[in-house]
Amino acid sequence: MELRDFISNLEEDKDLVRIKESLSTKHEISAVMDIIDKRSGQAVIFENVEGYSSPVIGNLLSKHRRAALAMGVDEKNLVQEYMKRVQTKVKPRVVSDGPIKEIVIKDKINIIKEIPVLTHHERDIGPYFTSGIVIAKDPETGVRGMGIHRMQVRSADEIILNLARPPVATFLKKAKENQRELEIAVVIGVDLLTFIASVFFSPSGVDKFEIAGALKKGPIDLVKCTTVDLEVPAQSEFVLEGKIDPRNMVEEGPFGESWGTYFETKNPLCKVQAINHRHEPIYHALTSFSGEEVLLSGLGMVGHTLPSLEEKFPDVVTLWIDPFNRSSLIVQIKKSNEDTPKKILEYLLSNIIFINSAIIVDDDIDPLDPYAVGFALSTRYKPQSGTMIMDGLKGFHLIPSSVMKEGTGLVTSKLGIDATKPLHDSGKYDMVKVPSSAADKASKLVTKYLK
Ligand SMILES: Cc1cc2nc3c(=O)[nH]c(=O)nc-3n(C[C@H](O)[C@H](O)[C@H](O)COP(=O)(O)O)c2cc1C
């Protein structure tokens, strides 16, 4: 389903807020996105953006129900269905033309004049693209790779890419070794399955358009770019084309990052040589440190971690990121041995760099339900025996409590919590509930009134 059809569906579902007041791209739009994200979690479209004719859409994937809508599945089956589909692959197909070719600008490039790029946070240095999928090819193998990367708009035709993670960061390294420039395309505003697939944690050499095709259960249509040897989704709203000289690293940031703190570093500069867009394009914005970030990262991380975790620990059922503490993983298990939680905690804390804590819960606790997880912590967790602290582990650059140690890099300590009830419990740890017949009836009834 292309982005525009998805937005129409949200409208029908009353899951889209239309803001008609004129708002500035500087702080005002992101402030509204943030409040809506935290209160109702609805998507939001800003119809009147000061100085622009294009609307801005935001909070598209801040709730599981909308990722489920994109996949065409029931919300409670989202993670399971996602896991099933990403095991397969469907190759994209290159078509001769598409809406993204409706307007192509190659002269007098002026990014900020054409696109309502938002300045999100108080101390951000300026406007940042936050939902851009960066596409490039491996300079040695020619295999395509992609990921979402923040990009600071530095001038009328320059962007600075936050390029920490593979595969594009690896391509740039190879381009540098071969003394070549790296061609990139930046895609903003695509169907949400391509968006979700773009951050699937994949081994190198995987074309994530094949994952997007698997999620869609059909090929993604691509068109060739105008000035670079790359292909982009035919239905995209905006596409920038450009080249990175890998020798040219410049100061980027500060920018309010995914974990909610400001970050600045040196990153590569890209000279933009073409802007493509559809007629009346819609600009897709994403707030970092939001529900949408957790959902996108969560799906990518679950797709990567769950299969190997299940293989190592057959008691594992599923896992998710704590929505209120994104450095924490919640793992649901069907415990067969009292020692299993400890073993899982040791493994996760030692191997997953993005977390500083993990909680193990039983299979009657939904890791996506913060109330249920809170219940497990308040009734089943025994601090004396259920706590594990590990020190000297590898830290993550966006979690500022990690410390730099000479010769080792960033190091941190981590917390593991076993919030499972004892095996063979007689019922004293059961959570109160209403009978399922009444719960089902209530759920259908309430959905009619509330989002
Ligand atoms: C919302 C969001 C924003 C991201 N921003 C960046 C970024 O600015 N820089 C970066 O290197 N990676 C960023 N990532 C991670 C990359 O897109 C990453 O490559 C991807 O999640 C995993 O793919 P990989 O296994 O191919 O690395 C972001 C991920 C998400 C979900």
pLDDT digits (tens, 9 = 90+) for 268-290: 999 999 999 999 999 999 999 99
Residues 259 and 374 in one domain: no
Residues 214 and 116 in one domain: yes
pLDDT of 423: 96
What is the whole-number distance in angstroms between the Cα of residue 167 and the centre of ligand 1?
9
CA–CA distance, 88 with 71 (Å, rounded to integer):
15
Domain boundaries, position 321 = 313-449
**Ligand 1 proximity of 136 Cβ (cutoff 6 Å):** no
What is the whole-number distance in angstroms between the Cα of residue 104 and the centre of ligand 1?
28
Give this prediction's pTM.
Answer: 0.95
**Ligand 1 proximity of 167 Cβ (cutoff 6 Å):** yes
Residues 47-104: tens digit of each pLDDT:
999 999 999 999 999 999 999 999 999 998 999 999 999 999 999 999 999 999 999 9
DSSP 75: G
The domain that holds 339 is classified in CATH as 3.40.1670.10
To 10 degrees, what angle do helices 291-312 and 340-351 make? Answer: 120
What is the whole-number distance in angstroms between the Cα of residue 287 and the centre of ligand 1?
14
What is the whole-number distance in angstroms between the Cα of residue 134 and the centre of ligand 1?
10
Residues 270 and 374 in one domain: no
pLDDT of 350: 97
Residues 263 and 366 in one domain: no
Instruction: Encode burial over 73-96: b for 16+ CB neighbours within 10 A, e otherwise.
Output: beeeebbebbbebbeeebebeeee
Number of domains into which the chain is organized: 2
Checking if the pLDDT of 155 tops 80, the result is: yes
Residues 66 and 214 in one domain: yes
Residue partners of 57: CB distance under 8 A and separation at least 6:
3, 7, 43, 44, 45, 46, 189, 282, 283, 284, 285
**307 belongs to a structural domain:** no
**Ligand 1 proximity of 325 Cβ (cutoff 6 Å):** no
pLDDT of 451: 73
Task: Pick from 199, 202, 263 the residue to mutate for probing ligand 1's pocket: most ligand atoms within 8 Å of its CB.
Answer: 199
Residue partners of 268: CB distance under 8 A and separation at least 6:
160, 161, 163, 172, 244, 245, 246, 248, 249, 250
Residue whose CA is closest, atom 7 of ligand 1? Answer: 149
Residues 75 and 165 in one domain: yes
pLDDT of 55: 98
Instruction: Over range 6-19, report the average pLDDT.
Output: 95
The chain-wide mean pLDDT, for the chain, equals 96
**297 belongs to a structural domain:** no
What is the whole-number distance in angstroms between the Cα of residue 164 and the centre of ligand 1?
8
